[in-house]
Structure 1
Amino acid sequence: MTTNDLLGLLRRHLPEIRASLTAAQYARFQDSVRRLGEVGDDTRAVRLAVLEVRRCLLALPRENELRRRMDQFRSGGAAPSAVLPDAGELDEVIRLLESVDWPVLDPASAEIARGVRQRLLTAPARGPERLTGAAAQDPDRAGLIRLTDPELGDRYPDFQFDPDTGEPRPVVQRINRLLLSDQDPWGAADWWLAGNAWLRDTPAALVGQVPDALLTEAAAALIGDGAW
């Protein structure tokens, strides 16, 4: 996938992106695309800017077609000609970003989002009273996913903790930060608790069963964190 391929996908899926992100998430997405237009011909800076755009797209529902394309993409080496964006294509995406009125999330998309959250809340989880040490003092800084249940309050999915010590698993903390779980805990939880085509299983079920590096690589591939 080249940078221009990504821009083409953004242009075609912009209405869905606008409808699926919150105002704050969309503003961050806009800023990331603008930064892509400001870095010039520095291929390293372009790669970093593209990575930030892809991070913003993690907030999309997994059922969204663009998000599925991102999930299927594995990072790899790319020549400078594949990294640098076409100026006209980038200008058109930026123009569209700033010209469309904010849409209301359609009922079907809203229902999908509710279904995803309900599914994630059925996973085994613990409340804040069971956290210990640094995690109890500042769960967000500890790199833990925190989901809010309308009835039970804050919930921390159990896969994040060592079953013997109760302490956060370092590999989970590392991947949560990679997935920006502090900004999009639902999206990060969905990555862990949904089936993964690359890993051929649910990532949360593989913690401690496969090398930590394999899980980290799978998460990094999702956002293109590496050679692009």
Structure 2
Amino acid sequence: MNQGDSGAAQRLLALIGEHRDSIREAMDDEQHRLLLTRLTALAGTPPDDDRAVRRALQGVRLALLPLALDHPVREEMDSPRLVAAPPGPSAVAGARELMTWLAPPSPAPEPTPGPAAGTDAGQDELLRAPALSAAEARARCGGAPPAELIRLADPRDGDRYPEFQFGAAGGSPYDVVLEVNRLLLADIDPWGAATWWLSGNTWLGGTPARLLGRLPDHRLVGAATALVEGEG
């Protein structure tokens, strides 16, 4: 790991602490609880477990996606300078120090792709995006949809698969969507993955879902990689 990687993670964690009040104001209760839960998970990760640190740091980034594009923390996340190859002990130590400034998280469970999800304001907004039903997704996939597809559990209408993941005119899932969703761990955190696709991204210059077919696939993969595990 290089020094730049360590500096990037430390800079992000420092900004979270510096702007903790504006972050709290910008998030609803559920979003803020999730951020605190993710930071606590990072602080409790064994520093020498490189893979675990990578995933925990990824979770923190995904929890920050609801911030406005012009928020200093979000601008840092979207900057090509930010790479996420985990700095191991540095990231864990930084999270532990940060958590001494922040209130401990409530015992709310991590959101999962189960029937109880999709009830807070941010998730309701995601559910308003065009989507396919479970039956329609099976038809597009020629069988059971792959685990990499984002599946949002709607308490009113059942499972929903955001439509941007599929090609036009009855097309099957985009290969690049499946690749990016694997990076975003969409099977574990579908709401976080959906937020990335359907939110503006300053690095890409637009909303990733709207840039499918307009930007080269490697640009989309690169933006997701920079968020979760870049190797700059």
TM-score, normalised to structure 1's length? Answer: 0.68
Report the counterpart of residue 48 of structure 2 in structure 1: 39
Q: What is the percent sequence identity of the aligned residues? A: 35
The match for 1:124 is: 130
| Equivalent residue, structure 1, for 2:112 | none
Q: 2-side partners of 1:87 and 1:162: how far apart?
A: 40
Q: SS at the partner of 1:131?
A: helix
Distance of 2:94 and 2:129 partners within structure 1? 42
State which structure, 1 or 2, has the greater radius of gyration over its C-alpha atoms. 1
Aligned residues: 206
* C-alpha distance 211-126 of structure 1, shift in aligned 2 (>3 A): same
Q: 2:215 aligns with which of 190, 202, 210?
A: 210
Q: Which runs of 5+ in 2 are unaligned?
A: 1-6, 109-119
Of 148, 153, 157, the match for 2:158: 153
Counterpart of 2:40? 30
Counterparts in 2 of 1:211 and 1:147: CA distance versus 1, 3 Å? same
Whole-angstrom CA distance in 1 between matches of 2:77 and 2:88:
19
Q: Secondary structure at the match of 1:85?
A: helix
- TM-superposed deviation, 1:157: 1.1
CA contact (8 A) 1:147 1:186 kept: yes
Shift of 1:192: 1.3
Deviation of residue 23 (structure 1)?
7.8
Matched, 1:52 2:52: no
For 1:193 and 1:88, locate their aligned partners in 2 and report how far apart those are by CA, in whole Å. Answer: 32
| Worse overlay, 200-209 or 60-69 | 60-69
| 2:150–2:186 Cα contact (<8 Å) kept | yes
Residue correspondence of structure 1 range 125-204 to structure 2 within 5 A: 125-132=131-138, 135=141, 138-139=144-145, 141-204=146-209
**CA distances 1:59-109 after superposition (whole Å, capped 9, x unpaired):** 34512758625532325689xxx8863997565346668x836388xxxxx
Within the candidate set 61, 71, 74, 2:77 is matched to 71
User: For the structure 1 residues 206 and 55, does the alpha-carbon distance in structure 2 shift closer, same or farther, using more than 3 Å as the test?
Assistant: same
1:25–1:101 CA distance, 2 compared to 1 (3 A): closer
Deviation at 1:198, TM superposition (A): 1.8
Scaled by the length of structure 2, the TM-score of the pair is 0.67
**Does residue 62 of structure 1 match 2:66?**
yes
Residue pair 2:35, 2:64 contacting (<8 A) in 1 also: no
Give the secondary-structure state (helix, strand or coil) at the position aligned to 1:148: strand
* Residue aligned with 1:100, SS: coil
